[in-house]
């Protein structure tokens, strides 16, 4: 019997990573940058959002991006 190493663990979206993502999304307006800040991929962020549709996470995502767009439209507000 040979000892084979276990497969690498997949990263998971913990509540802490979700908070990091949302803060970075608020600051950058960019899903890829926010996902990287949380140590996750852009595609996994979109999958999470789809999976959590209608939850506070998805609503906050929408709100954060709307706020980012408002700040771009009026940077002196």
List the structure tokens of 17: 């990573």
- Each residue's pLDDT tens digit, 17-64: 999 999 999 999 999 999 999 999 999 999 999 999 999 999 999 999
**pTM for this prediction:** 0.83
Three state DSSP letters for the chain: CCCCCCCCCCCCCCHHHHHHHHHHHHHHCCHHHHHHHCCCCHHHHHHHHHHCCCCHHHHHHHHHHHHHHHHHHCCCC
pLDDT of residue 67: 95
Phi, psi of 14 (to 5 degrees): -75, 165
- pLDDT at 69 exceeding the cut of 90: yes
pLDDT of residue 57: 98
pLDDT higher at 2 or 27: 27
pLDDT higher at 35 or 8: 35
């Amino acid at each position: 019997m040979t000892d084979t190493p276990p497969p690498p663990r997949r990263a998971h979206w913990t509540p802490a990573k979700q908070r990091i993502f949302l803060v970075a999304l608020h600051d950058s307006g960019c899903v890829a940058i926010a996902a990287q800040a949380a140590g996750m991929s852009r595609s996994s962020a979109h999958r999470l959002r789809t999976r959590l549709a209608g939850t506070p996470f998805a609503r906050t995502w929408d709100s954060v991006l709307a706020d980012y767009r408002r700040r771009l439209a009026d940077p002196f507000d």
